[in-house]
Amino acid sequence: MKAIQNYINTKCDLDLTKTRLDVLLEKKENIQRAYIMAGYKNYLKPSSQSFRSKNISLYVRELLDKNPATNQSLIQEIVSARQEIRILEQTLDQMEKILYRMTGISRELFFEVACNGLAPTKAVEKVSEKENVDYRTGWRYYKKIKPQLKKLSEFS
């Protein structure tokens, strides 16, 4: 059951990091929109004249100012969030492979519902047939993992 709990925690961390990245990208877009609305249309062109102007320096300064809470600039936070998402996705792939290799009715049910996306009825049928147990026994095991699946679905 610890493997299932670790999978749930990692999946929740991934969803939270994706939400954080969305917020950071929206903040960056708002900064860009503010400078476009103010009439500073040349801030996107990397010419030497635009870098000398005050308009681009204000835009760049706003992007590079460090957040006191994280001690990183907006650009650094976006890059680190993307790296963290990539690492968490790789970790989840490895965990899914491990869950797939595990035995036991509850672990297989969890894998079928959480990783493969099967409906509970189909998952119980498949696992009951595979493990050669009664259909009712499959539902008993499903009731044991149902709170963990609910917890996982809250973050998805």
Residue 51 pLDDT level (bands cut at 50, 70, 90)? very low
Non-local (6+) Cβ contacts of 147 within 8 A are none
**Smallest Cα–Cα separation from 107: which of 9, 8, 13, 16?**
8
Q: Give the single-character DSSP code of 69.
A: T
| C-beta atoms surrounding 56 within 10 Å | 20
Q: Considering the chain, what is the average pLDDT of its residues?
A: 80
Determine if the pTM surpasses 0.85.
no
Per-residue pLDDT, 39: 58
126 or 1, which is more confident = 126
Segment among 51-55, 65-69, 71-75, 150-154 with least mean pLDDT: 51-55
Non-local (6+) Cβ contacts of 52 within 8 A are none
